Structure 1
Amino acid sequence: MSEIKKISEMIDMNLLQSIQDNCSRAMGIGAVTVDYKGNPITRYSGFTDHCIKVREVQGFSEMCAQCDAHGGLHAAITGQPYIYRCHADLVDFAVPLIINGTYMGAVLGGQVRVCEEEAEQLEYILPHQSNWRKHEQINELYEKMETVSYEKVEATVQILRDIIVALTENESGKKMLEKLEEKDKQLIEERAVRSELENVIRKQEADAVYRSSEFRYFFYVMNILSRLAYEEKAKKTEQVVYDFADVTRYEMGTPKKISTLGEELNYIEALLRIQKAWVGDKMDFSVSVPAGYWGIPCPFMLLRQILDHFLDGFGEEPANPFKLEFYGQENGDIFQLQLRCDGAVQSSDQWMHLLSASASKGGGDRSLHTLNSELQRVFGSKYGLDVCAREDKQAGIIIRIRLPLEKRGAF
């Protein structure tokens, strides 16, 4: 009980139980939160009939406990979520519960079947045994379970991790703010006037706590929306919730000037999926950049700023269909990312004007001219943007973004 008390003093256990229950219902998973010893500190959520039965059978129940313990231990060692196969051929995961840098326990979940081809990519947490299949009732319950995609398991783990991180950071932030306020009172007593620098630091720290709180409740609402979409079998809405959570996580993440091309492309794909969910067949897109180039440095939100120039011209819905294609190729120490737009867009002459128009001429901070100048300032004069018409003279344009194969400078 002492361990549970320690955790309950640092996070809201009722909120943790609610998050666990909602994720269980929305994602169709079983879940429970345990302390660092592996003892449950929440009620079980959504345990499958198969797993309930397995845990009732002597010999199998001990193996379930070992799977839970090993999964939680792996998450504790790495500090990251861990997805694995249990002894009963189901996919489980462990999301560590870390408060103030200390491992306090883990949220254990899963109890789902994935297709054998995807499952083979995961390691067994214990040496594989199939003797449970000899138990007629357990095997029958296993065969009745629906199969889900591994992608959905990953999305569930990521959303659950974000919620837990936001929850623990918010509670830690409150305590940090309380200590800061107490320290402020002492400083006021000791000194009549506080320096401007101290005021700035206090404001930044308070802002950080506020942002943490907003982050927590955003993903809590996303969790509720995904649950409602799942229960109403609104698959398109459910996918938009996942994509919007990914987009927001990227935009609200740790501030940085340089990302990787892979991070930028994943972000843009999520944005475009959301857009396509609204406009339907009037927009299509494809991303075919080989994974070997995803580690190339790319300025944070570069592709979003270029994409905005396309989408701003369409309003809420494009009048005519169009297609965006992202692809690229290597040329010496340059990687040339190409964005091709087919369909009703501004002419190449208009786009070249946007590229040449400086901010002082009305281009603004988001102008192509500004983006090109920043790319050249950071990476060198042979890098940057250029625009041209399609080779076949059909409606549309091609934007080429020249990036270095090796990271240089700071944006």
Structure 2
Amino acid sequence: MKKTDNPLNELIASNLYARYSGILSLSDIPLFLVDPNGYVLHELIPSPDFCTLLCRKRRNQVCPDYRDRFKSDEEEGSFICHHGLQNIFIPIKMHDETLGYVAGMQVYSQDTEYQKYMIDVQSLKEETNTEIEFIAKSIASLKTVDENKMKIHEQLCSHIAKNISIDLSEGVMGHANSDVARLSIEKEMLEKKIIDLEAKNMSLVVNPHFLFNTLNCIARIAYFEQSHKTEDLIYCLSDLLRYNLKQDDQLHTIASEIGNIEKYLYIQKARFKNRLEYTINVSENIKAYRIPNMVIQPIVENALIHGITPKRDGGKISITAEEFQDFVIISVEDNGSGFSKDVLEKIHQLENKSGLGLRSTDKRLKQYYGECYGLEILKSDFSGSTVAIKIPTQPIGRC
């Protein structure tokens, strides 16, 4: 197929960037469209000068490392170029014919960044007839990004490739079916980004090591002053914050979640004294199941704030768990005043900015397990509230 006959050119001419501007705003890593021969058709997110001006043999054609990949049997994948940069290419197909690729990345990972400092500047100067100063600046501007950001960009490239394939297969611009499919994929990507941002907002802005060291120092002072209650509270707070900041494993055991809740309620008990009672009844076999971190704590916190705090005599919070054939129900119950009408309305609003955390927690659970799992407010009246968490017993397999 000649470059001029490629249907991708017609799609690009129809203001391609405007069609994908929403989803492209999720990343600042290079992303471009190329034909099967490696000619760059359109740069959606520009490549760095190092790649466009120093590595390409022709300005409008990708570097030899890319072209070699296109000629190989690999339909899609990622690779590290001879300068150590991470790259990706995903095919755009119409009726099983590859019309081109969504490609890009062109960044260093933390594992390959060292190769940035091993580039032979003198050889590049001789090959490209370029001033050393410009080469040095181009190398210095190359980005190093973490693995999570690269995974998000890879998903974005994959979704754009699928979108374009749908547009081309459906006859391109303006067809309702292709627009619905494209918007559905963009909506999914945006929702994932929102959930990711909400999770990051839960982390502390200050340096966590400084914070933990400070708390532990205060706890030791309390120990030497024989303020053992204060010492215990500080260590509990330190553990709570450390658990909150955990990003190494997206799923934690229910046992670790319950341990976190026990520390939280221990601190609140010191605050409310006789106005707060609590019980936790979760069997050992249920504690082995895994759950996203920090999903029970917001529910307990809401029970305390909106149920127990308004009552002069306080109340009681009970956490129980029950296992059924293929799912587990974790219930948080209080005998407080129940959620007020305006609070319930905020919880059920599509865009909840009240800080209750219940809707975002429900979204996280549904993201992991499917739409038939998540949170449900079973009761909320003058006698108290009951909020239930439903998760599957099997970690894989969605409803």
Question: Normalization by structure 2: what TM-score?
Answer: 0.46
Q: In terms of Rg, which structure is larger? A: 2
